[in-house]
Chains A and B, each alone.
Chain A
Amino acid sequence: MAVPMPVTPMLLNIDESRAVEALRELAQKLDGAPCEVVLDFSSVQRVDSSVIDALADLARIANKNDKATKLVLRNVNVNVYKVLKLVKLTGRFAFVS
């Protein structure tokens, strides 16, 4: 029986003013190795369509890696959560508060 590799969570605070850039940079860094990325949305009050596109891309890339990458969104406010629900992205992330 294979022993699962230890996974080190990576924490990233998302600043609303440069959320898109941060998410794009993160997408480039994902190399397929098992990892857990925690994106802290505490300071994000509102998202626009470019942030949604970036999150969708990130989820797509993480999914490609045989689901080895776990994406966690932390402290997402309920308005933003509803937006993600409407664009059907909530299933692609884990949510913690």
Chain B
Amino acid sequence: MSVSEAVDERIRISSIPEPPSPERIAYLENLVGHARTAAAVFTQYSQQDVDRIVRAMVLAGLAQAQHLARLAVEETRLGVMEDKVIKNMVACEFVYNFVKDKRTVGVIREFPERNLEEIAEPIGVLFSITPITNPTSTVLFKCIVAIKTRNAVVFGPHPKAWRCCAEAVRIMYEAAVKHGAPEGVFSCIESPTIPDNVYLMHHKDVGMIDATGGPGAVKAAYSSGKPALGVGPGNTPVYLEKSADLNAAVVDILVSKTFDNGTICASEQTVVIDDEIYDAALAKFSELGAHVCNEQETKLLARTVIDPQTGVMQPMAVGQKATDIARFVGLNVKPGTKLLIAPIRGVGREHPLSVEKLFPVLAVYRAKSMDEALKVCVDVNHAGGLGHTAVIFSRNDAVIHKFGELINAGRILVNSPGSIGALGGVYNDLVPTFSFGCGTGGGNSTTDNVNIYHYLNVKRLARRTQNHMWFRVPNQIYFNLNAVENLRQFPSRSTVIVTSAVLEQVGHVDVVRRHLAPETRVHVLVIPDAEPENKVIRQGVETLNAYHADQIVALGGGSVIDAAKIMKLKYESPDADLEELAAPFLDLRKRVVQYPTEKAHGSRLIAISTTSGTGSEVTPFAVLTDKERGRKVTLADYSLTPDVAIVDPQFVMSMPKSLTADTGIDCLTHALEAGVSNYASPYTDSNAMQAIRLAFKYLPVAYENPGDQEARSMMHNAACIAGMAFSNASVGVNHALAHALGARFGVPHGRANALMLPHVIAYNAAVPAKFMPSPYTQGYVAHKKYATVADLLGLGGNTVEEKVQNLIRATERLLDRLEFPRSIAELGISKSEFERALPEMVQSAFEDPSWRSNPRMPLMNELVELFWKAYEGRAIAEEEELVEQTV
């Protein structure tokens, strides 16, 4: 686009134009009305229909390329007729070559591996502004692109180029309609005015504005409130680097800068030449028909072709021949001179010729170093050329990349002409276009070469994907009586046994020690039997380092095993930041924080559980108490999972009754929650169901007859199996509530779970007030899964509801047999104290990550209700039976 357009538009669009006359509005409405109908009709067309029409249009455009070029030169008095013929042909042939096989109707792209399809939706009616510099070629291009994408266009050509544009539109329209395009698909405003443009830019039936022109038109388009493609002026820097093929580079620059007398906005403006080749380059330019100005001539040239007030090019020079400009300036040049070369010493207002010059005048700059050359190119780029085009001639790949990183241009062309190169498809594989997106640097929405995909609404048909799931457990699990003997098969030079004082006293440590591989140096680390603190972890890591441990045996309940997991983590990866590793996450596979994979010592962790509940010997979880900050840190990652688990019932035979009950209910809660979890899978279901069955059958026996070896063994297995289930399916809201209750009132974890369990089953089995988003499950199935559990347990019932009730009854009976308190009130917590603690507990439960896999999304008021139910300890099944009897 020329400076006259730019200046004119700035002036004209900045002032609010008078609205068009009523007659003019009727005229414009008629154009848009027809376009709207055409666009609607066009939606019925197939890809074959469209491709047939496009081909016919392209042939018509090629046939009329010369005719249109002549008209354009006659009307605008800009450019070179022969070059405009080539531009018209490129607009048809090269654009066709790019679009002919592209799908633009229906499904246009498929991504089967992502279950995605892209479907084309036309925009409808476009209002398209076209420039004076490339009038007919731009129209031809836009017509082809519009038909290919089933859109209708109302053209608003430059007022000084509307006749040639109208003729181009007529030729395209007639060819299109003759081959089946909807009537009214193209129209061109006759004698266009700024008020016409403003009116159409705000028209409700115009879907998008495509403004190719000066900054005024582009800004007006973007300011209209409509979706717009606006592409504007440039200032192309060229770096002629010392390694370049000088002869080829000079020819390319001459070809490009003289093409259509320099009217293409991507053409070269300032060539920065390395000192080493500067003289040779200028000599080559001279040899091939350029005139190199001396200092006096350069001053004269600058004064004449650049407006001293505005600092931009003079309209009279745009698109004129070099000889004509020379004559006007008063320079004595040879006949046939193609280009005027003006050496400059800097960029900016003090160096007038460093701006965009859409005529055959080229500034050159002698750079003493690559650093200086690149800086000058950046300066030119920022002097009106941001986002547009840049060129480098070089054989040095490092320099080419450096240039590419530094220069902000949508098209960075290497060893090829700027103007024709930027058009795409001729010198490179860029998308052919007559509309250069200049990105945000140029106030545009894209840096692309505008083409068919910018004329489409692309719809994405996203099918539900079956996300990968997993089932990860320790490599080796040894179970049943005397499974501990398997320790012998693990060679170790130095083993640290992490355990508690009680277990050492009762002789369990000696049992373990006896079964370690011969020649193993053993050290016993006794830690408190409570959730581990940082201090304990530090001591543990010091011990592991001191003994150069290659094996850690964790012998104990959940707390001891958790401590050993964290000790190993810090021993193997001393830089691991536990605070950061505990960062919350929604999906294990997409979590922000990654656990370290480097292992400093390659040690092995063997977990031997001495309780039957936590399942910690197979889980990827560990809880750390941060006493300094008064909070718990939960670590979760499969790298924490012990390498080997030993599930030997000899270590639980002497468990006290209350611990048997507490840990047993923890096991049952793990299994029930994993069973209805949104992350449940057939793999976890099989574990969950088996653990539930074992717990219902053997927990009361183990509680009532602690010496029953079978019951102990089966409950020990149940805890491990439930651990495998919830390691992969996670738990649910029961755990969130129990954690909050336990933390506030010091209720043991298993007991807290028991207080909530019947209420949570009833809660999850009801129709949720709010469903939990879950890509892993199909529909809401929690109640059905509870019914399946009831069937597995042989609880009877004919309907899902009956079965759920029977499961709740069975759970309550189990809790009664285990002599659990059945209400929080029974723990001696007064109602007022509970009421005071409730907000904090609800908040804590809501922040607990456990419920994220719960099938039902717990609302805050629902958490309150569940806590109150647990406080009052209503026996759900009995209560409902009572209601039924009353009725």
Contact = CB atoms under 8 A, between A and B. Distances in A.
A95 to B, nearest CB: 17
Contacts of B182: 48-49
Which of the listed residues B34, B36, B37, B44 has the most CB atoms from chain A within 10 Å of its own CB?
Answer: B37
Nearest to A84: B40
A49 to B, nearest CB: 5
A79 B37 contact: no
B650 interface: no
Interface string B369-388: 00000000000000000000
Interface string A34-57: 000000000000111110110000
B184 interface: yes
Interface string B161-184: 000000000000000000000111
Contacts of B36: 86-87
B41 A48 contact: yes
B44 A86 contact: no
A46 to B, nearest CB: 5
Interface string B42-58: 01100000000000000
B40 A87 contact: yes
A33 to B, nearest CB: 31
Contacts of A87: 36-37, 40
A69 to B, nearest CB: 23
B39 interface: yes
Contacts of B39: 86
A50 B40 CA distance: 12
Contacts of B34: 49
B34 to A, nearest CB: 7
A60 interface: no
Contacts of B184: 49
A48 B40 contact: no
A79 B41 contact: no
Contacts of B38: 49
A80 interface: yes
A82 interface: yes
Contacts, number: 36
B439 interface: no
Nearest to A52: B37
B41 A49 contact: yes
Given A86-B36, A86-B124, A87-B36, A79 B43 contact: yes
Contacts of B124: 86
Contacts of B37: 49, 52-53, 87
Contacts of A47: 41, 44
Main SS at interface, chain A = helix
Contacts of B43: 79, 82-83, 86
Interface size of A as a range: 10 to 19
Nearest to A47: B41
A46 B42 CA distance: 10
A94 to B, nearest CB: 20
Nearest to B45: A46
A46 B44 CA distance: 7
Contact of B44 (A50, A53, A80): A80
A87 B41 CA distance: 9
Contacts of A82: 40, 43
A50 B34 CA distance: 11
B93 to A, nearest CB: 30
Nearest to B39: A86
Which of the listed residues A48, A84, A86 has the most CB atoms from chain B within 10 Å of its own CB?
Answer: A86
A82 B40 CA distance: 8
A79 B41 CA distance: 9
A87 B34 CA distance: 10
B33 to A, nearest CB: 9
A46 B182 CA distance: 12
Which of the listed residues A48, A49, A50 has the most CB atoms from chain B within 10 Å of its own CB?
Answer: A49
A82 B41 CA distance: 9
B363 to A, nearest CB: 51
B183 A86 contact: no
Contacts of A80: 44
A49 B44 contact: no
A83 B40 contact: yes
Nearest to B183: A49
A30 B464 CA distance: 52
A50 B44 CA distance: 15
Which of the listed residues B34, B38, B40, B124 has the most CB atoms from chain A within 10 Å of its own CB?
Answer: B40
A2 B222 CA distance: 57
Interface in B32-88: 34, 36-41, 43-44
Nearest to B38: A49
A58 to B, nearest CB: 15
Nearest to A82: B43
23 contacts: A46-B44, A47-B44, A48-B182, A48-B183, A49-B41, A49-B182, A49-B183, A52-B37, A52-B40, A79-B44, A82-B40, A82-B43, A83-B40, A83-B43, A83-B44, A84-B40, A86-B36, A86-B39, A86-B40, A86-B43, A86-B124, A87-B36, A87-B40
Going nearest first, the 8 A-B pairs with the smallest beta carbon separation are A86-B40, A83-B40, A49-B37, A87-B40, A46-B44, A49-B183, A79-B44, A52-B37
Given A86-B36, A87-B36, 17 more contacts: A46-B44, A47-B41, A48-B41, A48-B183, A49-B37, A49-B41, A49-B183, A52-B37, A52-B40, A52-B41, A82-B40, A82-B43, A83-B44, A84-B40, A86-B40, A86-B43, A86-B124
